[in-house]
Structure 1
């Protein structure tokens, strides 16, 4: 009995420490003005991004060898940055085409390093669609989504560990820990979907402000939907919202930002 009480007390203390750490690390986003729970400074994000970029590129076969293609993507990315309030952010943006010709993907690492695979680039039909992809990834950077995810992962891992200790069953070691870890993962996936919606909507804003046709973002969603095939995972089990749901939200953003221009 005493051992059981001790387990519960230790678990509660761990949970309180995790919650206190998370909620006391709050910063205001310099671009969106949003109050965010993050434990990294923008300078740390930039450093992390620059340091991790070579390793990330290597996972996709390195950089695409055609320098003209690289420069054309950089030009579009920098046009978006320089034409919008993104230029006032503390981040150092650079854009890279990856050599991978099979994986349809684009992603950003903290601090401003943005990548698009040759496979996805090949499927895009015009510069407006490319601007849609890059605008989306730019929002991941200025939205500080990676820093938020890191802080949320620390919180959920701390709470999962606390729950595992407080509810551990000596007759089934590891069972409760596995359940807690599964729940923590689902929480993280929900946050990821929220980030994707924000990136779609602000990506539309950056497109409008930099002179690109925002309707091209819908075309990008159709391309991604086709690339995913008929066996896409359900929205609940995916970090990305269902393409059809994203398209509806993107159309709302187009109406909003084109009407405000």
Structure 2
């Protein structure tokens, strides 16, 4: 009994430390005005992003070899950055086409490094659609979504560790850790969905402000829906909201920002 009580006390202390660290690291986002729990500085995000570029390229078959294609994507991305309040952010944006012609994807890493695969680029039919993809990813950067995710992972890992210590059953080692990790992953999924919705909506804003047709964002959703095929995972268990649901939110954003 004494051993069990000791484990519970240690677990509670670990949980309190994790919670205190998370909630005391609060910063206001200069672009969105949102208060966020983030432990990294913008400078650290930029450095992390720059260091990740070579590894990201290797994971997707390297950079696409056609320099004209690379420059055309950079031109669209830079147009969005320079025409909007994104240019006031502390991030250093750069845009890369990855050589992978099978995986349909685009993503951003902290600090301004943005990637699109050749497979997705090949499916886009207009510069407006490309602007929709890049505007979405730009928002992930200025929204500091990766930095938030890192802080959330640190919190959930701390809580999972605390739960494992407090509830470990000597007769079934590892079971409580697995359960705690599963709960932590479910918590993380909610933030991912919220980030995607915010990126769609602010992406629409950046498109309008930089002279692109925001309806092209809806076309992008249709492309992603088709690429996913009929066996897409349910929205609840996915880090990305269902494309049909996203389309409705995009329409709302178009009406909102076109009316300004």
TM-score, normalized by the shorter chain, greater than 0.5: yes
The answer for the alignment partner of 2:96 in structure 1 is 96
Distance 2:70 2:232 in 1: 30
Structure 1 spans left out of the alignment, 5+ residues: none
Secondary structure (helix, strand or coil) at the match of 2:248 reads helix
Q: 1:25-174 counterparts in 2 under 5 A?
A: 25-174=25-174
- Spell out, residue by residue over 1:66-105, the C-alpha distance to the aligned partner (whole angstroms, 9 max, x if none): 1111100000000000000000000000001110111100
The answer for the alignment partner of 2:181 in structure 1 is 181
Q: Deviation of residue 164 (structure 1)? A: 1.1
| TM-score, normalising length: structure 2 | 0.99
Q: Deviation of residue 170 (structure 1)? A: 1.1
Distance 2:10 2:231 in 1: 44
Moved more, 168-177 or 87-96: 168-177
- Spell out, residue by residue over 1:212-251, the C-alpha distance to the aligned partner (whole angstroms, 9 max, x if none): 0000000000000000011111111111001111000010
Secondary structure (helix, strand or coil) at the match of 1:3 reads helix
Secondary structure (helix, strand or coil) at the match of 1:73 reads helix
The answer for the alignment partner of 2:229 in structure 1 is 229
Secondary structure (helix, strand or coil) at the match of 1:172 reads coil
Q: Deviation of residue 190 (structure 1)? A: 1.1
Distance 2:164 2:244 in 1: 38
The answer for the alignment partner of 1:204 in structure 2 is 204
The answer for the alignment partner of 2:9 in structure 1 is 9
Secondary structure (helix, strand or coil) at the match of 1:236 reads coil
Return structure 1 stretches of 4+ with deviation > 2 angstroms.
none
- Spell out, residue by residue over 1:100-159, the C-alpha distance to the aligned partner (whole angstroms, 9 max, x if none): 111100000100000000000000000000000000000000000000000000000100
Secondary structure (helix, strand or coil) at the match of 1:68 reads helix
Aligned residues: 260
Structure 2 spans left out of the alignment, 5+ residues: none
Distance 2:167 2:51 in 1: 40
Distance 1:147 1:126 in 2: 31
Distance 1:177 1:199 in 2: 33
